[in-house]
A and B are shown apart, each in its own frame.
Chain A
Amino acid sequence: MLEPLSITLTIAALALAAVVVGYVVIDRRPDRTLLAALTLLEAGLVAQCGIGIWQLVGDSVEVSAVTFVGYLIGALVVVPLTAVWAVGEPTRSGTAVLVVGLLVVPVLVLRLEQIWDAGG
């Protein structure tokens, strides 16, 4: 795995989760700035998915391909899906839904690293 990207994604997702918690506390709805930040994070996750599959095909590592790709796709869809679910609830609870999605990202990235290291 590309370690700098994994670390960046983990820190970005945790930082964004903290920001969104702040939004929930002061009862503020997601705005354009937050949406832009989420989009940026998603771009990083798309890159991770591409690089991950590239490395899986290229390297002759003993990585469980199904599990690895499953986690890559999971990390790819979790933020957009929670965003859609969040939009359906125009209260602070809806905003809090984003926190759930953002906290799942670091877990998935960590698991990807573990699966990759176990196979390498």
Chain B
Amino acid sequence: MAEQVTQARSTRSGPGRVLIAVYAVFAVSAAGRSLVQLGTKADEAPFPYVLSAIAAAVYVAATVALARSTRRSRQVAWSAVLVELVGVLVVGTLSVVQEDWFPDDTVWSRYGAGYGWLPLVLPFAGVAWLLHTRRAAATTRPAAQHDPADGGSTESAPPR
């Protein structure tokens, strides 16, 4: 069997599928917004617009890396998700403390409040999923039984 391929649980299977869908939505919307901002009015608010572009790049990287789900892309996904976490916390704080630096909003302004706080939740979900799939990889090796379906089926069974 293709043992080396199934060493780590795929980040694109199970709940990861939903996570990637949400990341893709943010990748497309942040990239689109950023292109319009930098393309039509870059000089109006360069600082937030550059931050928007960085956020867009991070979302695109996270989406592609999680969806590719190779060993190499796992590292890229880790970097993207951690940069995203730091970004939303730092930019979120700056947007509250230094309001005059932000004549226009970025995705991460006020911790993503303009996007239903999802930009704040998303990196935590990403870290949790990467940790979960890593642990699944460690436990599947001795058992040699890799369940391609939703791994939570036995966990979520009611107690009685």
Contacts and interface: CB of A to CB of B under 8 A. Distances in A.
Nearest to A85: B21
Interface in A74-101: 74, 78, 81-82, 85-86, 88-89, 91-94, 96-97, 99-101
Interface in B1-45: 13-18, 20-22, 24-25, 28-29, 32, 36, 39-40
Contact of B21 (A67, A92, A100): A100
B17 A66 contact: no
B100 interface: no
Contact of A100 (B25, B32, B149): B25
Given A91-B149, A91-B150, A92-B150, A97 B21 contact: yes
Given A66-B36, A93-B15, A82 B21 contact: yes
A22 interface: no
Contacts of B36: 64, 66-67, 70
Nearest to A89: B17
A21 interface: no
A17 interface: no
A104 B25 contact: yes
B21 A101 contact: yes
Interface residues of B, number: 19
A92 B15 CA distance: 9
A74 B122 CA distance: 21
Contacts of A86: 17
A97 B20 CA distance: 9
Contacts of A96: 15, 17-18
Nearest to A66: B36
Contact of B32 (A70, A89, A93, A99): A70
Given A74-B28, A91-B149, A104-B25, A66 B18 contact: no
Interface of B: 13-18, 20-22, 24-25, 28-29, 32, 36, 39-40, 149-150
10 contacts: A66-B36, A66-B40, A74-B28, A78-B25, A85-B20, A85-B21, A89-B14, A96-B15, A97-B21, A100-B21
Given A93-B13, A93-B15, A100-B21, 5 more contacts: A70-B32, A89-B14, A93-B150, A97-B17, A100-B18
Interface of A: 64, 66-67, 70, 74, 78, 81-82, 85-86, 88-89, 91-94, 96-97, 99-101, 104
